[in-house]
């Protein structure tokens, strides 16, 4: 797997030495290939089936797994479980499976309870170079490669015009002080936050948010926005990681607070 050879080598050695942990946390940005790495681990290294139990988490399901005689790798996407479900997982983690493995995925440790983190062996996905991204995706667009640091992000932005997204963000961060309060609300109306709201004339909130922090850093370097605006952007993007957060409401609160800073 291009770019993740060192992690795979570590897995191979641990499996050979019989020291591979029963519970691991795999950290990586959106689109970094976490699911692909898990498939590689289960199919090519451990030679056992993988079952995604993210949407099945309950005490009953965990009891069923504890009694299951089949060896499996259980996958849990930490980006989609709230703190209540994480508390359910604690018992699961405290009593490691004797014949199976648990892999928890997350983009950041900020979304996870400290008690969960303490019970996992943590692995960080490696960052990708431009040449690796080009080799994986076949994309050599300089702007896309500047702002998209994972294969998944590169492929997402190949489906849209990234420059129109950057212009939209630039206007949001530099011209907000001139906008009326009514027009500020239109920013969220021009974006879709889930597939049900998707329209060709709307921007993807997911893609906007994935660019926001890096673009704000560039604008600050060019003295187009203040350090305070950059701080607001960083605070907003960190809050996006809170499990089950209402992203539309969070975004509207963010732009209203930003307007207050700028006026």
Run means of pLDDT, 10 residues per run, the chain, 263 residues = 93 94 93 95 94 90 85 91 86 78 91 90 95 94 94 94 95 84 86 88 94 95 92 92 86 87 55
CA distance 165 to 214: 13
Query: Where does residue 226 rank: exposed (0-12), middle (13-18), buried (19+ CB within 10 A)?
Result: middle
pLDDT at position 261, please?
Answer: 63
Contact 233, 213 (CB under 8 A): yes
Q: Could you tell me the domains of the chain?
A: 5-124 (3.40.50.300), 130-159 (no CATH), 160-262 (no CATH)
CA distance 213 to 42: 34
> Helices in 158-224 by DSSP H: which ranges?
162-174, 181-189, 205-221
- Residue 202, phi then psi, degrees to nearest 5: -110, 155
pLDDT at position 262, please?
Answer: 55
pLDDT at position 263, please?
Answer: 46
- Bridge-based pairing state of the strands 101-106 and 73-77: parallel
pLDDT at position 82, please?
Answer: 84
């Amino acid at each position: 797997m291009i770019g993740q050879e060192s992690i795979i080598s570590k897995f191979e050695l641990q499996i050979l030495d019989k020291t591979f942990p029963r519970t691991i946390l795999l950290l990586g940005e959106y689109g970094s290939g976490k699911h692909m790495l898990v498939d590689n681990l289960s199919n090519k290294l451990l030679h056992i089936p993988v079952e995604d139990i993210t949407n099945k988490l309950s005490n009953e399901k965990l009891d069923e797994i504890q009694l299951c005689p089949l060896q499996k790798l259980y996958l849990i996407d930490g980006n989609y479980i709230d703190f209540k479900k994480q508390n359910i997982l604690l018992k699961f983690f405290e009593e490691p499976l004797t014949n199976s493995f648990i892999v928890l995925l997350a983009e950041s440790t900020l979304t996870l309870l400290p008690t969960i983190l303490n019970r996992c062996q943590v692995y960080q996905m490696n960052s990708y170079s431009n040449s690796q991204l080009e080799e994986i995706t076949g994309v050599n667009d300089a702007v896309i490669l500047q702002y998209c640091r994972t294969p998944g992000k590169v492929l997402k932005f190949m489906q849209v015009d990234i420059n129109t997204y950057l212009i939209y963000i630039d206007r949001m961060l530099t011209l907000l002080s001139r906008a009326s309060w009514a027009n500020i609300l239109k920013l969220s109306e021009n974006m879709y936050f889930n597939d049900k709201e998707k329209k060709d004339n709307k921007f993807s909130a997911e893609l906007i948010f994935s660019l926001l922090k890096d673009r704000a850093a560039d604008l600050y370097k060019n003295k187009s926005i203040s350090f305070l605006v950059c701080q607001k952007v960083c605070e907003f993007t960190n809050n996006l990681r809170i499990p089950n957060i209402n992203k539309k409401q969070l975004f509207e609160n963010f732009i209203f607070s930003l307007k207050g800073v700028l006026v």
